[in-house]
Structure 1
Amino acid sequence: MSDSQSQGEKTEQPTPHRLQEARKKGQVVKSTELNSAFTLMIMVLFFMLFGDVLFGWHVDMLTSFLTDGLSMTVSFANFNSLFINAMLNFFKLISPILIVGLVAGLLINYAQVGFLVTSEVLSPKFDKLNPLEGIKKIISRRALFELFKALFKISLVGLVTYLFINSRFEGFLSFLYTMPEGFFAGFSSLALSLGLQVAVVFLIMAVLDYIYQRQEFMKSMRMTKQDVKEEYKQMEGDPLIKSKLKEKQRAMVNQRMMQEVPTSTVVVTNPTELAIALRYDQGEDGRGVPRVVAKGAALIAVRIKKVAKEHRVPVVENRPVARFLYQHVDIGEEIPAELYQAVAEILALVYKLKGR
């Protein structure tokens, strides 16, 4: 396989930046099956816990209507109050169901996607009006998978329902000889048991669907090697440009460092590999500490020694001191206390040579 073909294949996993850009466009991992299954499970559990309370509210509303409402004369004077009272009773009965369903939907969406606000998905896309694109989507592999998933879901729910009713068939027949209050209690118990089983099956299928949707999403987000390189250039900058910038920065640092060498007190060498320029300012109290003003190895060390000789700065060979200063003391820092004695001897030698 040629390099151009390998460069064009999407073999690389998506980078965090690509996933973040896709998220801004509303492209995230999400399973609508998981939303439906979780909401169904929460609603079934809600009815199992608070179904008796809702039924009691419903009985009270019907009792009030059958005892008081039918005997009341409806007129323009009392129509508003009757209508408001009926709406309040209706919302009292239906609002807990709506609120629980809404909260469950928001929770599962937040668990999948997190907090995401984007207008990208609302922007018009005229390519969707193309009939050929629509036909391709209808007969695509994803569309066939969704069709198979829907048929499998219907078949599985039908099988679960059949097995449930078949195992409790005699119980359903006994409802024919049960009083109304007993009928509701028994039938609601069986209906909630069936709903719980269906919800569990839905939830298992939804988790599997989420795993599949995640795999498909990550597959669609894959990048070519060239895409990764281009993104790296955009995020981190072109490596060639960065190397040139670093080279210029090093040159500027070296230039400033070389400007400090003529004003240094002494240059300590290794003698050929390292060179460290020290400046000693005694200060008013005579307690100044020598400071490293320039250091370098190899060619930079040669330049430091050359500049020092041109400006008559003493060059002293001391291998241990030069090696320690180069490895442990940065430019602009004072020498550590453990080198006071050794550097004092070097400075004494320099002052002796200068006749001071």
Structure 2
Amino acid sequence: MAYLKIDLQFFSQEKTEKATPKKRQDTRKEGRVAKSADVNTAIILLFVFLFLWFFGSFLREDILKIFEISFNEYVLIGVTEQSIRLMMTDLSIQAAKVLLPIFLAAIIGALVSNYMQVGVLFTTKPLILKLERINPIQGAKRMFSARALVELLKAMLKITLVGVVTFTILWLHKEEVFRLTSTSPNTTLAVIGNLTVKMGVFTSILLIFLSIFDYVYQKYDFEKNIRMSKQEVKDEYKKIEGDPLIKSKIKERQKQMAMQRMMQEVPKADVVITNPTHFAVALKYDEETMEAPQVVAKGVDYIALKIKTIAETNDVVIVENRHLARALYKEAEIGDTVPEQLFQAVAEVLAYVYRLKQKI
């Protein structure tokens, strides 16, 4: 009879678990976030064309000024090194006046779109060169992956819809376009600018609508890529909470330190009440600073024996009282005052201790 061996570790390595908060935080620090480039492109285009819609008339005057100076002045000057330098400098300044506001609108759009998707994030890790990025085998896998197919279909859809929007706007304004050959340069520039802005705004709105679906897909793909196996979740939990063996050692060390501090308080006690062999409770009382006697140490068996040994070494009075020792051990913790119901019994013990010390 044949048996089929199954490696159970295979199942533990399957990435079926959602990413933990720590994994998400580490991934974010690396610059890996759910982000759609289409959202960035669409919002940047919308900001630029809205800027042109509202402020295009001011830019038109600057553009016409460039043409006017070029055709009226620059064609008449002599061609020398100095004249060309001055001409290029002047044209660069005029072009900057036109382009810089557009660039500023694009930058604002980029910041807004990134903030909407990932919030505030500054990291240089995505800029670090990684050899696997230039690996031809990995590159071929990316080219023929399901993600590449989705990107191809997405690009074809965008080209088709943008073409439809552009054609529709031109068709609706075909009469204005046909009259451009008989209009003035100022009117021609105004009509072309108006049509361009309209095509840009409507195309941007359409791209924003499409980019919503792309962002949903990118979010899904990102969540799938950062999934963790059950073993990875366990390992991460161990790193966060600490290895159980190390934690037990830390607790043991803390217990030892607490024990040492407790034993250091025994010589300062006024009395140690014992069982006599199983329980030992050390009490201290100062009329000026304490409202009631305080438990400074307690223990059973070996610890009780150690408390009594230290008390004997430091001439602390030891009183045997079985019921009181058990009651104090059960009712009060180290640092607590004696419970009210035990005041009378403790007071009698302390009175005995004080009388004993006076006789000594």
Spell out the pairing of 1:107-256 with structure 2 (5 A cutoff).
107-109=112-114, 111-113=116-118, 114-119=120-125, 121-125=127-131, 128-130=134-136, 132-170=137-175, 172-173=177-178, 178-256=183-261
DSSP 3-state at the match of 1:27: coil
Aligned residue identity for 2:121: F
Matched, 1:59 2:64: yes
Q: TM-score, normalised by structure 2?
A: 0.77
- Paired-residue identity, %: 32
Matched, 1:69 2:74: yes
Spell out the pairing of 1:1-356 with structure 2 (5 A cutoff).
3-76=8-81, 78-109=83-114, 111-113=116-118, 114-119=120-125, 121-125=127-131, 128-130=134-136, 132-170=137-175, 172-173=177-178, 178-258=183-263, 260-261=265-266, 264-266=269-271, 276-280=281-285, 282=286, 287-289=288-290, 290-295=293-298, 300-301=299-300, 305-307=304-306, 311=312, 313-314=318-319, 317=323, 325-326=332-333, 331=334, 333=335, 335=337, 343=343, 346-352=346-352, 355-356=355-356
Query: In structure 2, do the counterparts of structure 1 residues 242 and 354 end up closer, same or farther at CA, with 3 Å as the change threshold?
Result: same
| Range that drifts further, 73-82 or 95-104 | 73-82
Query: In structure 2, do the counterparts of structure 1 residues 72 and 353 end up closer, same or farther at CA, with 3 Å as the change threshold?
Result: closer
Aligned residues of 1:262 and 1:307 also touching (Cα < 8 A): no
DSSP 3-state at the match of 2:15: coil
User: Using the alignment, how far apart are the partners of 1:274 and 1:50 within structure 2?
Assistant: 90
Query: In structure 2, do the counterparts of structure 1 residues 241 and 321 end up closer, same or farther at CA, with 3 Å as the change threshold?
Result: closer
Aligned residues of 2:275 and 2:320 also touching (Cα < 8 A): no
Query: In structure 2, do the counterparts of structure 1 residues 9 and 348 end up closer, same or farther at CA, with 3 Å as the change threshold?
Result: same
DSSP 3-state at the match of 1:292: strand
DSSP 3-state at the match of 2:77: coil
1:54 deviates by: 0.5
Aligned residues of 2:34 and 2:222 also touching (Cα < 8 A): yes
Aligned residues of 1:265 and 1:313 also touching (Cα < 8 A): no
Unpaired segments ≥5 residues, structure 2: 1-5
Aligned residue identity for 1:38: I
Aligned residues of 1:258 and 1:304 also touching (Cα < 8 A): no
Count of equivalent residues: 340
DSSP 3-state at the match of 1:89: helix
Unpaired segments ≥5 residues, structure 1: none
1:205 deviates by: 1.7
Aligned residues of 1:12 and 1:223 also touching (Cα < 8 A): yes
Deviations 1:143-179 (A, max 9, x none): 1111111111112222333444444545545656655
User: Cα RMSD over matched residues?
Assistant: 3.7
1:198 deviates by: 0.8
1:314 deviates by: 2.5
| Range that drifts further, 182-191 or 87-96 | 182-191
Aligned residues of 1:34 and 1:206 also touching (Cα < 8 A): yes
DSSP 3-state at the match of 2:93: helix
DSSP 3-state at the match of 2:123: coil
Aligned residue identity for 2:297: A
User: Using the alignment, how far apart are the partners of 1:269 and 1:159 within structure 2?
Assistant: 97
Q: TM-score, normalised by structure 1?
A: 0.78
